[in-house]
Structure 1
Amino acid sequence: MNIRVSFAARRTAITSLLRSGPLAGLLAVGLGVIAQPAPAVAQGKLDARYEATLAGIEVGKGAWVIEITDDGYAAAANGATSGVMQAFSRGNGSGEAQGRIVNGQFVPMNYKATTTSAKKTETIRITLANGNVKDSSIEPEQPPDADRIPVTDAHRRGVVDPMTGSFLRVPGTGDLMSPDSCRLSTPIFDGRMRYDLRLEYKRTEMVKAEKGYQGAVLVCGIYFTPVSGYIPDRAAIKYLTGQRNMEVWLAPIAGTRVLVPFRLKIPTPLGNAVLQATQFVTTATPPKSASRTQ
C-alpha cells in the first residue's frame, strides 16, 4: 500500500509540472528588470530543464519552455522516466497550453497533454473560453465508474488548465517577491478531475541553478482539495488531501510579473518526491509597441 501511494504521489508531482505536469533568468537580467520602475516591460521567455528524484534517486527528466507576450502566452513541456526508474517502468509525457492575457490575468484557451506508458497512450484535450470549459476529451475514453464523483457543469466554470494553473501572476507594481504573492487558491480542471490548489507563504530561500537563475524564491506550502472527478477511496487521493508538507519554490520570469515553479516537493512514505530545476534561464523581451518604434 505504501509503495503504491508513494508512486502515485511521485506521478502527481511530475504531472503537475511536466504536463502542466504535475514545473527565472540570470541574476543580472531577472533582478535588474524587476527593479526598474520606468519601462512597462511585460514580456519574457523561460527555458528550463528539470530532474525528478524519489528519496534522492533520479527517476525522471523534463523540459519546460514558456513565452509570455503583452497579450498572450504559450507553454510546452515534455518529460520521461530516467535513471533507476527505467528498470521498472518506461514512460514519457508532453503537454502544451496557450491563452490570452486580459487585464493582466491569464485566460487559458487550449490545453493538451499526452502520456505514454508500456501499456497505453492517453491524450487529454481541453478548450476554454473566459474561464469556462467549452469542450474536453480523454482518448481513449474512460469507462464509467460509479464510485467517481461526477464533474458537473458548475465545476467546469471559473477554472484554469493544469499548466496555466502552475503560473502565478502577481498583480500591481509592488514587491514581486512579497509573502503576499504566495497566498491564493487556484481552481483547476485537468480533463478528468476538478480540484483546488491553495498556497500559503512559508519562507524565502536563495537558490542557484546549474545554469541560469540565482536569487530569491518564494517557498509556498501546497494544500490539495479535490472537488469532483475523483474516487474518494483511492489511497493517493487520501494521502494528498491530508498532506501538510508539500512545497513549491517559485522564481520569477525576467521582464514579467510571473512566478513559476523552480522546485516542487511532495513527501511520500519512501522519501521526498522532488522536481528540481537544473536549468532555469529567462530573458526579458521588449513590448510590441517598443519593437515597432525601433
Structure 2
Amino acid sequence: MIPPLPAKAVLRALSGALALWWLAPQAALAQGHLEAQYEATLAGIPVGKGAWTIDIGEDQFSAAASGGTSGLLKTLSNGSGTGAAQGRVVNGALVSTNYSASTTTSKKSEAIHMVLSNGNVKEYGIEPEPPVDPDRIPITEAHRHSVYDPMTGSMLRVPGTSDPLTPEACHTGAAVFDGRMRYDLKLDFKRMETVKAEHGYFGPVVVCAIYFSPVAGYIPDRAVIRYLTAQRNIEIAFAPVAGTRILVPFWMKIPTPLGPAMLEATSFITTATPPRVAKTN
C-alpha cells in the first residue's frame, strides 16, 4: 500500500508535473505570444500562484515561468521558483538550447542549468551539488540523449494543417530530463471540454490522461515517485497559443490522499504575431 503523501511533496509533484511534453519536427510554425497566470489548489484551498510567458518567433523562441506558495501553505513552508528555456525554431520544431530552473525555500536554495543540442544534453549541473545517495538509480550518458527539457517539453506540437484541438493531439509520448531525473510521459485522449479563464481565453481544450514512468535519477522507495507511477487518473487540458500549432497546459488535476490537487489558468491571454516581412528596395 502506498503511504499518504505530505502536502509539500504533493505540491512538488503538482508543479513538477508541468514539466510535460514533447514536440516533433513538422511544417513551419506561425508566430504567437502567451501571457498566463495560474493558481494551484489542494482540496480547493489556494496554495500557490504562478506566471508563464511564451514567445514563438520566426526562428527563435523563449519561455519563462515563475511561482510561489500562497495562502495557508505559505505560512507553513514559504517557497518560490523560476524556470526558463530558449532555443531555435527549426523546420517547425522548437529546439531548446538552454534551460534553467531555481527553487528557494526557508531551508535551502537550488539552481539547475542545462545546455542542449538537437535533443542531447551537452552540459548540466545543480548548485549546490546534491549529496550522493546510493539508493538513487544513476543517470548515464544514454539517459541524456534524445530528451526534452521540462520547459520546452511542456509545449505540445500538433502536426498537420487542420484544427490542432483534436483527440489525435493526445496520441504521443516523450522522454524528459530535468537535470536531476530522467522519466517518460505518455498521453491518451480523454475528452473535449470548453473552458473560460477569468481573463482571456474562452474556448475548447483537449483533455488528455497522463502517465508517469521514472527511468533514472530517482530513489525507488520515495513515496511521491511510487504514488505518481501508480496513478491512472491524472488529467491535463491543453489550450492553443494563438497563431501557432502549439498547445500548452490550461489546467492539470492530480488525485491525492489529501484531496484533488489542481493547477489552473486564471488568466490566459494569447495573441498571434504577424510574420516578419522581408524588406525590399
TM above 0.5, yes or no, is yes
Answering whether residue 141 of structure 2 is matched by residue 153 of structure 1, we say: yes
Matched, 1:198 2:190: no
> How far apart in 1 are the matches of 2:275 and 2:155?
20
Identify the residue that residue 195 of structure 2 maps to in structure 1: 207
Does 2:93 match 1:91?
no
Correspondences of 1:151-230 after superposition (within 5 Å): 151-230=139-218
- Structure 2 match to 1:73: 61
Q: Shift in Å at residue 291 of structure 1?
A: 6.5
C-alpha separation between the residues in 2 aligned to 1:42 and 1:287? 7
Please provide the CA RMSD for this pair: 1.7
Indicate the larger mover: 101-110 or 204-213.
101-110
Aligned with 1:160: secondary structure? coil
SS at match of 2:255: strand
Distance 2:16 2:211 in 1: 16
Q: Identity over aligned residues, as a percent?
A: 60
Q: Does 1:231 align with 2:233?
A: no
- C-alpha separation between the residues in 1 aligned to 2:51 and 2:162? 30
Question: Does the CA-based 8 Å contact 1:14-1:21 persist in structure 2?
Answer: no
Contact 2:209 2:235 (C-alpha < 8 Å) held by counterparts: yes
Verify: 1:277 aligned to 2:278, yes or no. Answer: no
Contact in 2 for aligned 1:170/1:258 (Cα 8 Å): yes
2:24 equivalent in structure 1: none
Amino acid at match of 1:243: Q
Query: Normalization by structure 1: what TM-score?
Result: 0.89
Q: Secondary structure at the match of 2:193?
A: strand
Aligned to 1:243: 231
Q: Which residue of 1 aligns with 2:110?
A: 122
Letter in 2 for 1:225: S
- Shift in alpha-carbon separation, 1:98–1:162, aligned structure 2, 3 A: same
- Where does structure 1 differ by over 3 angstroms across 4 or more consecutive aligned residues? none
| Matches of 2:214 and 2:195, distance apart in 1 | 31
3-state SS in 1 of match to 2:260: strand
1:246-293 Cα offsets, whole Å, 9 max, x none, are 0111000000000000001111001111000000000101112x3747
Relative to structure 1, the CA distance from residue 63 to residue 292 in structure 2 (aligned partners, 3 Å threshold; closer, same or farther) is farther
Q: 1:136 aligns with which of 124, 135, 141?
A: 124
* Partner SS, residue 87 of structure 1: helix
Q: Where does residue 102 of structure 1 map in the other structure?
A: 90
AA at the equivalent of 2:61 = Y
Q: Displacement, 1:100?
A: 1.1
Q: For 1:150 and 1:41, locate their aligned partners in 2 and report how far apart those are by CA, in whole Å.
A: 37
- In 1, the alpha carbon distance for the partners of 2:193 and 2:90 equals 31
Aligned equivalents of 1:14, 1:232: Cα separation in 2: 20
Distance (whole Å) between structure 2 residues aligned to residue 8 and residue 65 of structure 1: 26
- Residue 268 of structure 1 aligns to a residue in which SS? coil
Whether contact under 8 Å (1:21, 1:95) holds in the other structure is: no
Return the offset for 1:229.
0.3
1:71 Cα deviation (Å)?
1.5
Task: Measure the CA separation in 2 of the matches of 1:129 and 1:41.
Answer: 20
**Counterpart in the other structure of 2:12:** 11
In structure 2, the partner of 1:42 is: 30
Q: Give the Cα separation in 2 of the matches to 1:169 and 1:217.
A: 14
Unaligned runs of 5+ in 2: 22-27
**Larger displacement relative to structure 2 (45-54 or 164-173):** 164-173
**2:4 corresponding residue in structure 1:** 2
Instruction: Give the aligned partner of residue 26 of structure 1.
Output: none
CA shift in 2, pair 1:21/1:221, >3 Å? closer
CA distance in 1, matches of 2:62, 2:9: 28
Identify the range of structure 1 (85-94 vs 98-107) with the bigger mean alpha-carbon deviation.
Answer: 98-107
Higher relative contact order (CA 8 A, sep 6+): 1
CA–CA distance in structure 1, aligned partners of residues 121 and 148 of structure 2 = 9
Using the TM superposition, give the Cα deviation of residue 10 of structure 1 relative to its aligned residue in structure 2, in angstroms: 2.3
Q: For residue 69 of structure 1, what is the amino acid of its counterpart?
A: G
Matches of 2:124 and 2:191, distance apart in 1: 37
More divergent stretch after superposition (166-175 vs 90-99): 166-175
